[in-house]
């Protein structure tokens, strides 16, 4: 029942430090099961999803030392581990499916409930399973019809796999499974996100032989064994993008530390089209929304290096106050406009038609009680709350806790008028 109370806050100013990436650390934590030796992961963000992944690893038999005060997690799983992932954890976080490949390699079997759909879409995993089958696994179709993945394999072998869609999750599961398979795997039309590159770098440090991560063709030469490793997770590009929009929408001036500008090329290009000034300095990236009037632009989400779907709702928040109409096209998820109804409670006047949203722009918005319908939509309504007249009350903020570390503290440090009200 916790909620955020957001009041209209003038231009945000100051410095914000970006945390480690949620979408990089989750597959990396899952990959710790690929060795019996100790793995040390650093710059781990203090997030609900990280807690769930650590609970899942513990339930599977790993020893997990979680020190999120120092953003550090150590995992070790010597000897036998369990092959079944508990449903009560899987249902809390879709990314639990990322342990599939590792469980199969460690135990010869993996039993995990289908994660099911969520607010933004059906989220099927047929590409993950197709990839594992190509590597030699068998999937119990009867169990699958009941919503349970029951995969078996005495041994996995290399294969050439073409992904019908460059799915991030399928690419990560196949890379993990192929890293200890007999022979060579070639993964074509692979996802190219920076989180894939971070996972491959992490596995290569463990002794894997992965080439081409970050391109659409990844070659994985299976090895006998992977060893212990210590790894720093990359910064969270979506958190960085969200704070860039913060500077733009409040006409503020924010220095963003610990972000990788090359991970956000599409977002930076679109912000510049809106008139936002972005300068990379030795201290970080300076974002100024106070130099030029904010103007509209059109956005189409695509797999990386296209415009990230996770930035769609925060960016749409910006377009609600930009001068002139904009069109946003969502091509990655089939149901990722749930935030539009919440924006319209605040007077945004947005219309949607299938994959398109038409934003009239130039609106003076009014605070209202709104819901965080998913993680990114939650951050987006907070951004609008910072410029809307009056008070905005955001509920279902557990969504936001899943993916933004110390969100309220970071915003407050920049001058935002936001409070968290816990029941």
Residues that bind ligand EPZ in the complex, under the rule CB under 6 A: 22-23, 26, 95, 121-128, 165, 167-170, 191, 309-310, 332-333, 375-376, 403
Residue 332 vs 386, nearer CB to ligand EPZ: 332
CB of 59 to ligand EPZ, least distance (A): 19
Query: What's the CA gap between 413 and 408, in Å, rounded?
Result: 9
Residue 253 vs 310, nearer CB to ligand EPZ: 310
What number of other Cβ atoms are within 10 A of residue 260's Cβ? Answer: 15
Report the 3 state secondary structure along the chain: CCEEEEECCCCCEEEEECCECHHHHHHHHHHHHHCCCCEEEECCCCCHHHHHHHHHHHHCCCEEEEEHHHCEEEEECCCCCCCECCHHHHCCCHHHHHHHHHHHHHHCEEEEECCCCECCECCCCHHHHHHHHHCCCEECHHHHHCCEEEEECCCCECCEEECCCCCHHHHHHHHHHHCCCECEEEEECCCCCHHHHHHHHHHHHCCCEEECECECEEEEECCCCCCCEEEECCECHHHHHHHHHHHHHCCCEEEEECCCHHHHHHHHHHHHHCCCEEEECCCCEEEECCCCCCECCCEEECCCCCECHHHHHHHHHHHCCCECCEEEECCCCCCCCHHHHHHHHCCCCCEEECCEEEECCCCCCECCEEECCCHHHHHHHHHHHCCCECEEEEECCHHHHCCCCCHHHHHHHCCCEEEEECC
CB of 23 to ligand EPZ, least distance (A): 3
Residue 321 vs 375, nearer CB to ligand EPZ: 375
Do the Cβ atoms of 182 and 155 come closer than 8 Å? yes
Residue 150 vs 310, nearer CB to ligand EPZ: 310
Query: What's the CA gap between 63 and 42, in Å, rounded?
Result: 17
Q: What are phi and psi of 84, to 5 degrees?
A: -110, 125
CB of 92 to ligand EPZ, least distance (A): 13
Residue 170 vs 220, nearer CB to ligand EPZ: 170
Query: What's the CA gap between 83 and 100, in Å, rounded?
Result: 9
CB of 388 to ligand EPZ, least distance (A): 23
Largest CA distance in the chain: 62
CB of 197 to ligand EPZ, least distance (A): 13
Catalytic residue among 118, 246, 274, 356: 118
CB of 183 to ligand EPZ, least distance (A): 24
**Could you confirm whether 246 is annotated as catalytic?**
no
CB of 31 to ligand EPZ, least distance (A): 13
Residue 310 vs 342, nearer CB to ligand EPZ: 310
Residue 53 vs 255, nearer CB to ligand EPZ: 53
Residue 236 vs 253, nearer CB to ligand EPZ: 236
Structure token digits, residue 154: 């005495």
CB of 246 to ligand EPZ, least distance (A): 17
Q: Which residue is nearest to ligand EPZ (CB)?
A: 169
List active site positions.
Answer: 118
């Amino acid at each position: 029942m916790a909620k955020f109370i957001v009041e209209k806050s003038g231009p945000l100013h100051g410095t914000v430090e970006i945390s480690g990436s949620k979408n990089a650390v989750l597959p990396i934590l899952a990959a710790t099961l690929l060795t019996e030796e100790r793995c040390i992961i650093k710059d781990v963000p203090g997030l609900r999803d990280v807690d769930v992944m650590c609970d899942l690893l513990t339930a599977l038999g790993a020893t997990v030392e979680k020190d999120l005060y120092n953003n550090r997690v150590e995992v070790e799983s010597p000897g036998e581990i369990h092959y079944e992932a508990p449903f009560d954890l899987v249902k809390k976080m879709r990314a639990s499916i990322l342990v599939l490949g590792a469980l199969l390699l460690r135990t010869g079997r993996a039993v995990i409930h289908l994660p099911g759909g969520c607010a933004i879409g059906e989220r099927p995993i047929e590409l993950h399973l197709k990839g594992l089958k190509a590597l030699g696994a068998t999937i119990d179709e009867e169990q699958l019809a009941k919503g349970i993945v029951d995969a078996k394999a005495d041994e996995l072998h290399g294969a050439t796999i073409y992904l019908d869609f460059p799915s991030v999750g399928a690419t990560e599961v196949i890379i993990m499974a192929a890293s200890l398979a007999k022979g060579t795997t070639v993964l074509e039309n692979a996802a190219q996100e920076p989180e894939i590159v971070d996972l491959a770098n992490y596995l290569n440090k463990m002794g894997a032989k992965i080439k081409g991560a970050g391109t659409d063709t990844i070659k994985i030469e299976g090895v006998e064994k992977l060893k212990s490793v210590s790894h720093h997770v990359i910064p969270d590009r979506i958190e960085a993008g969200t704070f860039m929009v913060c500077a733009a929408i409040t006409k503020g001036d924010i220095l963003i530390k610990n972000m990788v500008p090359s991970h956000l090329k599409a977002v930076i290009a679109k912000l510049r089209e809106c008139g936002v000034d972005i300068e990379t300095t030795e201290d970080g990236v300076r974002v100024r929304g106070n130099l030029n009037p904010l103007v509209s632009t059109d956005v189409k989400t695509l797999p990386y290096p296209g415009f990230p779907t996770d930035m769609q709702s925060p960016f749409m928040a910006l377009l609600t106050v930009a001068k002139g109409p904009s069109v946003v096209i969502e091509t990655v998820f089939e149901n990722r406009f749930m935030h539009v109804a919440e924006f319209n409670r605040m007077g945004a006047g947005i219309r949607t038609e299938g994959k398109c949203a038409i934003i009239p722009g130039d609106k003076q918005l009014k605070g209202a009680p709104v819901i965080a319908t998913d993680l990114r939509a939650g951050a987006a309504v907070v951004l609008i709350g910072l410029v809307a007249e009056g008070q905005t009350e955001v509920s279902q903020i557990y969504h936001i806790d899943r993916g933004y570390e110390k969100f309220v503290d970071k915003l407050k440090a920049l001058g935002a008028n936001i409070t968290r009200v816990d029941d």
